[in-house]
Amino acid sequence: MEILHSNIIGEGHPLLILHGFLGMSDNWKTLGSQFAKMGYQVHLIDQRNHGKSFWSEDFNYDILAEDLARYMDHHSIQSACILGHSMGGKTAMTFASAYPERTYKLIVADIAPKFYPPHHQYIIDALMALPMESLKSRTAADFELAKYLHDWGIRQFLLKSLHWVEKDKLDFRFNLKVLSQKMEEIGDALDATSSYDGPVLFLRGSRSEYIADSDMPMIKSHFPNAYMETVQDAGHWLHAENPRQFIQYAEAFLKG
């Protein structure tokens, strides 16, 4: 069985960080370093079909949670604090429900346990339209992407995964072919019977619509010891848009 790729920084109690859809562990490098300074051994993990981890046709949250359990076994981690953003938050919730004894504390960033209808299709379409064979630079890729995606921030986020596969050949680190076919799975709700009784912090962006006030009863039905904080002046990428407040809330919860 293949083991997820990671970047491990710092010493102390393990803190596993899971990126979102089309992201990778590198997105969390700056915040990971800050958590490491607080005394955590931070594991910045690439989920399957993302970053430098293996590619597979199989992709759903039960499988992603099993990947995490296997990763912990490989690194002799009995229990850990787990932080997941968006898709990574769904993986983290699934893992905590399946392996409560291995989850010390849980932080879920800007995602609820509910079903989300597929809403990334415009990004997938833009990526599919790229003339990968003729692209010779990141600048050229950005120019082409801008024809379909006007949001500079989203383009920069996607282009972080662009790398040279070989001389004169650029490609993305995420498995676009498989992920484009798994949009329903990515939106999946947490199983109705899944629950975790340990401490949970939900963080949402003040400008994000991913977690509504009305979601709180459903969150509590799965996570009775959960509470929520709102990161100001931030949308869905709250950890990048207001890292200072994100870290403040996370540190208070982890050390509380």
Q: What is the DSSP string of the chain?
A: -----EEEE-SSEEEEEE--TT--GGGGHHHHHHHHHTTEEEEEEPPTTSTTSPP-S---HHHHHHHHHHHHHHTT-S-EEEEEETHHHHHHHHHHHH-GGGEEEEEEES--SS------HHHHHHHHTS-GGG--SHHHHHHHHTTT---HHHHHHHHTTEEEEETTEEEESS-HHHHHT-HHHHHPPPPTT----S-EEEEEETT--SS-GGGHHHHHHH-TTEEEEEETT--S-HHHHSHHHHHHHHHHHHH-
When pLDDT is averaged across residues 161-169 and rounded to a whole number, the result is 91
Q: What is the pLDDT of residues 87-123, one digit of tens each?
A: 999 999 999 999 999 999 999 999 999 999 988 899 9
HSE of 96, CA atoms in CB hemisphere, 13 A: 32
| Distance (Å, whole) CA 94 – CA 190 | 7
**Active-site option among 43, 50, 236, 239:** 236
User: Nearest-CA neighbor of 208 among 111, 116, 114, 122?
Assistant: 111
Q: Would the pLDDT of 1 be above 90?
A: no
86 is catalytic: yes
pLDDT band at residue 219 using 50, 70 and 90 as cut-offs: very high
Is residue 150 within 8 Å of residue 141, measured between CB atoms? no
Residue 118: its pLDDT value, please? 86
DSSP-assigned beta bridge partners for residue 18: 45, 84
76 is catalytic: no
Percent of the chain with pLDDT strictly greater than 70: 100
Q: Would the pLDDT of 255 be above 90?
A: yes
Residue 67: its pLDDT value, please? 98
**Active-site option among 6, 86, 97, 161:** 86
pLDDT band at residue 84 using 50, 70 and 90 as cut-offs: very high
Percent of the chain with pLDDT strictly greater than 90: 95
Structural domain boundaries of the chain? 6-115+188-255, 121-180
- Mean confidence (pLDDT) of the chain: 96
Residue 214: its pLDDT value, please? 97
49 sits in the region (left: phi over 0; alpha: psi -120 to 50; else beta) called left
Q: What is the pLDDT of residues 117-149, one digit of tens each?
A: 988 899 999 999 999 999 989 999 999 999 999
The pTM assigned to this predicted structure is 0.96
Please tell me the CATH code under which domain 6-115+188-255 is placed: 3.40.50.1820
When pLDDT is averaged across residues 154-182 and rounded to a whole number, the result is 94
Residue 46: its pLDDT value, please? 98
Q: Would the pLDDT of 168 be above 90?
A: no
Residue 119: its pLDDT value, please? 86
Residue 249: its pLDDT value, please? 98
Of 66-70, 71-75, 183-187, 200-204, the range with the lowest mean pLDDT is: 183-187
